[in-house]
Structure 1
Amino acid sequence: ATVLAQSMIHRGFKAIDRGANPIFVKEGIELASQVVSQKLLAKTKKVAAQEDIQNVAAISSGSQEIGKIIAQAMKKVGKNGVINVDESKGFETELEVVQGLQYDKGYASPYFASDRESMAVELNQPLVLVTDHKISTIQEILPILEGVVKESKSLLIV
C-alpha cells in the first residue's frame, strides 16, 4: 500500500508539473485510493487457524521461527491483546507473556518506580482512580489518599 501511495503521489506531482490542476489531481488520488482500498478489502480473507496465522507472520517477518513465535503470542493474548516486539540483547528468540495493563504514559516522578533498575512499578490489587481532571495539588485528592491509607492499599491514578 505504501509503494502504491508513493507512486500515485509521484505521478500526481508529475501531472501538476505538466500543467494539471492540483485540485483535480488531489481528488483523483483520493478517488483512486478509495477504489484500491475497496478492491483490496474485497480480496481479504479472515485468518483464524493457528497455521494460517503462523504462515502470514512468517511471510511478513521473513522468518519461520519468528512466525511461529508470533502465532504463539497471538494465541496467548487473543485478538484484542497487545504484542510488543523488542530487540534481544542475546541471540535467542523468546516469548514472554505479561499479565496486566500497559499505558504509553510515564510516571509523574521517577520515585514512583518500585524497581529502580527497570523503572517498572508493580502494584498488587491497587485501588484505581480514573479521572480526566488534572490534579494540580495534593489537597484535591487528600480525602481519597486518606481512604487509601486506611485500607492499606496502593493507588493507581489514570
Structure 2
Amino acid sequence: MPKQIAFDESARRSLEAGMNKLADAVRVTLGPKGRNVVLEKKWGAPTITNDGVSIAKEIELEDPYERIGAELVKEVAKKTDDVAGDGTTTATVL
C-alpha cells in the first residue's frame, strides 16, 4: 500500500484533532472530582475505569491522520506508565 504524504496546515490540524479527542476522553478522569469512563471491549463485558493509560489504549479513530495524532499521545501515556507508574492522565492532558 503506498504511503500518503501530507505536510500542509490541514494535516497539522488533523493531527491536533486526534490528540485533542484522546485528551478529552482522558481529561474527565483528572483530579479528585474526576469521573469514571466506560470502555466497550471487542469481547466481554464493558470496563469501568479512571486510569488514563487504559482509556488511551482503547481509543481508535477512523481518520488516518487523527489516528496518528492519537497514537502520539498514547505513546506519551505508555512511557509515563512505564517510567513513573502513575501520572498518565496528567501527561496525556498536558
| TM class by smaller structure | under 0.3
Larger RCO (CA under 8 A, 6+ residues apart): 2
How high is the TM-score relative to the length of structure 1?
Answer: 0.18
Who wins on radius of gyration, i.e. which is larger? 1
